[in-house]
Amino acid sequence: MKNVKKKIKKLERKICYHLYLYHTLNKPKISDLEFDFLIEKLDILKKKIGIKKKFSYLNKIGSSLSKKLKTVKHLTNMLSLESINSIEKLEYFIKKIITFSKKNNLKKPEFCCELKFDGVALSLIYKHGKLIGASTRGNGIIGENVIHNVYVIKSIPKKLVGNNIPKLLEIRGEVIIHKDDFIRLNQSFRNKKGDFFSNSRNLAAGSLRQLDPIITKKRNLSFYCHSIGFYTPFLKFPNSHFNFLKLLDSWGLPVYSLRQLCFNVKEIVSFYKEVKKKRSSLKFEIDGIVIKTNSIDMQNKLGFSSKFPKWSIAYKFPSKKKITSILNINFNVSRTGLIIPVAKLKPVFIDGVEIKKVSLYNQKNMEKFGFCIGDLVTICRSGDVIPKIVDINVENRKKNNLKPIKFPIYCPSCNSKIKNKFGDNFLRCFSGFECVSQRERMLIHFFSKDALYIRGLGKNIIRKLVDKDIIFSPIDVFNLKIRDLVNLNRIGDVSIKKLLYEISVSKETTLSRFLYAFGIKDIGKTVSVNLSSHYKNIENLMNSKFEDLLLVKKIGKKVASNFLSFINKEENRKIIYSLIKIFKFKNN
């Protein structure tokens, strides 16, 4: 308990330090993801000892006002938004608003749904339609005066146009940087060995808080407004947020057009999905949608909590990236002899899926990135399935003096020299069945569901039989005796008898399954079916020639020569002929 408390204190200090780097100096040393990771870690520790109160950094950034910029008090506090990340929480929010409207005899609520811009908050003051003030959020009450920089942001009008403009108007919105500008600028910083920004939001914040507007101008910032802070009463005051945005647009303020009025959870979810789909094609970063009660009257009645408006919520997109560390790097030997480096990771969950390892592909990739044990890496699930490393924390590498892991020269399984024979980016072990790893994987494939499947003969039993040198080639499975199986852990008498029975009745198969079982390069399920329907029986197949192989559907020169080199190898022929003696073939 004492130990955990100490850890919590230490972690809180670390978080405050990073908040200072981020908000005050604009020079974060860690990415947002790494920061979230610290917060997550802290919450876990607190949970461990029953502390319910989560770390609130909102009230810890009071110290974040830059000493170099002048400060200004906002006309109305600049609050933040509560965020959610599930439909259940959205349902809860909508239900609360509906209940409130019923209780207060108000009209059925409508919701204005918009983009959640991933930028930096800005407040603008217009007096008689003329821009006179601009400030960052600061601590929500007092912000930093950045008017000198706002003058160089093209999309912010210096004078409003149109009718019924209030005497005093406080506009809220988000300063963003376009994705392509972010890449371009970061590249130039890298070239000059200057600061490097981990995301476009940090770069936008850093650019907005420059002392020299010439620098800000070069950053090509943009702005979109999303709400109003203070205003003096004016004619034709809109009754809804949606119409408010329309009005701002008519005054020449930049309002992004993608927004929608929704009436229920279903419509909001469908808008959320639509935006999520469009996300990658947008010119700037967004991190979710914002849902706002549309009626201004209802907004006023709902009011604010200490931090958030009660009438609005941010429905964020799930983070598909996580930071974790490399615990080890193993070199696996695939069924076909490829040597594949695999990083064992400290397990992390992305979208509910636990990720424990990630492929480092090949030697070329290993050398390019110099992966080390202890590396802090950002993981994402590419295409939502396969995990991939998208970022490496180089600072951490330097700090801990980590050394890159070298690619082996010999096969980690059979110790034979590994080679690159096909001119591709892969090193391979060419020992085939002689290599235990390949043998194990070949046998697993041989008896897998689409090949010569034997009920009860799973991966684990095959591994144990190979490990104990009981089976070497597939034919050995058909000669197994009770004594071979009794010594394997966790397999009882009944299971042994069942397995031996299943083996004895499994000697009937189709030619295509038989062929597929050998896992010959490029001979997958479809090609196996094509070959067996062309050659009809195994004898014809074993005597096939290059020219007539080319007549088979989906077989080109490369596949044909792979196939021939396999069936003409002495050891393969031996295995095939020993098996066909005991197998009976039925039609495909």
**Which range touches ligand IVH (CB under 6 A), out of 108-116, 156-164, 489-497, 574-582?**
108-116
| b/e sequence 263-289, b meaning 16+ C-beta within 10 Å | eebeebbebbeebeeeeeeeebbbbbb
Q: Which one among 112, 121, 153, 358 touches ligand IVH, defined by CB under 6 A?
A: 121
d(CA 530, CA 552): 7
DSSP 111-176: EEEEEEE-SEEEEEEEETTEEEEEEE-TTSSEEEB-HHHHTT-TTS-SB--SS---SEEEEEEEEE
Q: List binders of ligand IVH among 42-101 (CB under 6 A).
A: 79-81
CB of 201 to ligand IVH, least distance (A): 10
CB of 149 to ligand IVH, least distance (A): 17
The helix/strand/coil state of 307 is coil
Size of the site for ligand IVH (CB under 6 A): 15
Nearer to ligand IVH by C-beta: 118 or 375?
A: 118
- CA 413 and chain centroid, separation: 33
Cβ neighbourhood burial of 54 (10 Å; 0-12, 13-18, 19+): exposed
Among the listed residues 46, 116, 322, 464, the single catalytic one is 116
Q: Is 48 a catalytic residue?
A: no
CB of 348 to ligand IVH, least distance (A): 24
The helix/strand/coil state of 329 is strand
- CA 398 and chain centroid, separation: 25
**Which range touches ligand IVH (CB under 6 A), out of 41-49, 110-118, 184-192, 269-277?**
110-118
Residue 326's H or E segment, with its range, is strand 321-333
Structure tokens at 127: 């007096």
Nearer to ligand IVH by C-beta: 115 or 461?
A: 115
Using CB under 6 A as the binding rule, whether residue 116 contacts ligand IVH is answered as yes
Nearer to ligand IVH by C-beta: 206 or 337?
A: 206
CB of 292 to ligand IVH, least distance (A): 7
Using CB under 6 A as the binding rule, whether residue 445 contacts ligand IVH is answered as no
Contact 38, 376 (CB under 8 A): no
CB of 173 to ligand IVH, least distance (A): 8
CB of 294 to ligand IVH, least distance (A): 13
Nearer to ligand IVH by C-beta: 223 or 518?
A: 223
Measuring CA to CA, how many Å separate 138 from each of 20, 126, 295, 563? 12, 19, 29, 69
Q: List binders of ligand IVH among 277-296 (CB under 6 A).
A: 290
**Which range touches ligand IVH (CB under 6 A), out of 306-314, 372-380, 501-509, 556-564?**
306-314
CA end-to-end distance (rounded Å), the chain:
66
Structure tokens at 587: 């039609």
CB of 412 to ligand IVH, least distance (A): 48
**Which range touches ligand IVH (CB under 6 A), out of 17-25, 309-317, 335-343, 398-406?**
309-317
Nearer to ligand IVH by C-beta: 117 or 535?
A: 117
d(CA 413, CA 436): 6
Q: Which one among 16, 58, 314, 491 touches ligand IVH, defined by CB under 6 A?
A: 314
Structure tokens at 90: 């959205």
Whose structure tokens read 């064992």?
Answer: 344
**Which range touches ligand IVH (CB under 6 A), out of 109-117, 175-183, 399-407, 542-550?**
109-117
Measuring CA to CA, how many Å separate 407 from each of 51, 116, 341? 46, 45, 8
CB of 198 to ligand IVH, least distance (A): 18
Whose CA is closest to 378, among 325, 428, 422?
A: 325
Neighbours of 458 (CB within 10 A): 13
**Which range touches ligand IVH (CB under 6 A), out of 14-22, 308-316, 323-331, 438-446?**
308-316
Angle among Cα 427, 428, 434 to the nearest 5 degrees reads 160
Q: List binders of ligand IVH among 159-218 (CB under 6 A).
A: 174
Nearer to ligand IVH by C-beta: 51 or 261?
A: 261
* Torsion angle in degrees (nearest 10) through CA of 523, 525, 527, 529: 130
Contact 97, 302 (CB under 8 A): yes
Using CB under 6 A as the binding rule, whether residue 309 contacts ligand IVH is answered as yes
**Which range touches ligand IVH (CB under 6 A), out of 116-124, 370-378, 419-427, 458-466?**
116-124
Nearer to ligand IVH by C-beta: 114 or 170?
A: 114
Structure tokens at 270: 């469908």
Nearer to ligand IVH by C-beta: 101 or 312?
A: 312
Q: Which one among 46, 226, 321, 397 touches ligand IVH, defined by CB under 6 A?
A: 226
Nearer to ligand IVH by C-beta: 170 or 174?
A: 174
| Residues tagged active-site | 116
The residues of the shown chain that bind ligand IVH, judged by CB under 6 A, are 79-81, 114-117, 121, 174, 226-227, 290, 309, 312, 314
